[in-house]
Amino acid sequence: MASVRRSRSESLFIRYLVLGAWALFCLAPVLWFLSIGLRPRTEIITPQPIYFPTFSLDAWHMIWEDWPMAKYLRNSVLAIIGSVVIDLVLAIPAAYSLSRYEYRGRDDIGFYILSTRMMAPAIVAIPIFFLFRNMGLLDTIWALMLVYAAINMSVVTWIVRSYMLDIPKELEDAARTDGASDLRILWEIIIPAILPGIITAAVIAMIFAINEFLFTLLIASTPDAYTMSVALANFTGGSDGVIYNAIALVAFIAFVPVFVVVVAIQKHLSRGLTMGAIKG
């Protein structure tokens, strides 16, 4: 009995050891970033290793005072939230239709929506540039919102649809005999029932949007529309050379909200990421 227990606690110890090592491996770059961001610039570029780094808020002051970081942050937040709202408003009814109604070409439409995710983004970069130029939306966060929304639409639709497929049809039939219209059913029965799925889809869309670089660079040409991800690029050029500690700090700032949100919803996230694995 005792030996069984000891071997169980040993195996538990080994498990924690392995997981801990893996976590350290994954988190080390993040901690390294943080350490670079909080050191003076001179200390970062010396070739000798430094064992007792000096703590400095130089980079912190610099990004907020010398650069319009608050504006970049605001642009990021507005563009991302706006895009997620657009995605949800369009994807929820689309997913409802794809999961509930039977009509000709339904599966083709579903596949078409998914396929927009399959091509390389660079292919549509030029057309999109001209499209927004003609609409006079270049260098605005509205354009970013629309592009992020378009990029994520397929994923959001597909995740929401997979959650909807899990709702027993009886529930809708009950609501219908109780006198509810289709929109009522969607609003009062379906959406509350799949709220975890909607949140998961929104978070995944948010992460993709935060990391989006190509189209943002294409659309944003002044700080009016710069986001965090593009702002990073600004620290690499100019007369000042590459400002490593500022880059590291901005990257860290962009990383924190994603990290917090992912930890908060991680229970649901794995389900969202494997969507389609169980129900196609």
Partner 1 sequence: MARIELEGVEKRWGAVVGVRDIDLDIADQELVVFLGPSGCGKTTTMRMIAGLEEPTEGEIRMDGELMNGVDARDRDVAMVFQGYALYPNMTIFENIRFPLRMRGVPKAEQTRLVHQAAGMVELGEHLDRKPGVLSGGQRQRAALARAIVRNPSCFLMDEPLSNLDAKLRQAMRVQIKHLQRELKTTTVYVTHDQIEAMTLADRIVIMERGAIQQIGTPDEIYANPSNAFVAGFIGSPPMNLIEGRVSDGMFTAPGIAVAANGIEGDRDLTLGVRPEDCHIGPSDTHLDGAVFAIEPTGDLTYLTIKAGEDLVEVKADRGYRADLDAPEHVAFNLDRLYFFDPESGIRVR
Of the two residues 172 and 212, which places its CB atom closer to partner 1 in the complex?
172
Q: Does 108 bind partner 1 (CB under 8 A)?
A: no
39: DSSP letter: S
* Residue from 189, 225, 232, 269 in contact with partner 1 (CB under 8 A): 189
Q: How far is the CB of 188 from partner 1 (least distance, A)?
A: 8
In sequence order, the 6+-apart residues with CB closer than 8 A to the CB of 64 are: 70
**Helix/strand/coil for 235:** coil
Of the two residues 77 and 180, which places its CB atom closer to partner 1 in the complex?
180
Q: Rounded CA gap, 142 and 78, in Å?
A: 9
How would you class 265 by CB atoms within 10 Å of its CB: exposed for 0-12, middle for 13-18, buried for 19 or more? middle
Q: Does 30 bind partner 1 (CB under 8 A)?
A: no
Compute CA distances 138 → 87, 131, 225, 228, whole Å. Answer: 21, 9, 9, 18
Q: Does 184 bind partner 1 (CB under 8 A)?
A: yes
Task: Enumerate residues 155-174 that contact partner 1 by CB under 8 A.
Answer: 168, 170-171, 173-174
Q: Rounded CA gap, 84 and 96, in Å?
A: 18
* Residue from 77, 78, 109, 180 in contact with partner 1 (CB under 8 A): 180
Q: How far is the CB of 190 from partner 1 (least distance, A)?
A: 10
User: What x/- string results for residues 195 through 234 when contact with partner 1 is judged by CB under 8 A?
Assistant: x---------------------------------------
- Position of tokens 């227990």? 5
Residue 161 and residue 98 in contact, taking contact as beta carbons nearer than 8 Å: yes
Residues that bind partner 1 (CB under 8 A): 168, 170-171, 173-181, 184, 188-189, 192-193, 195
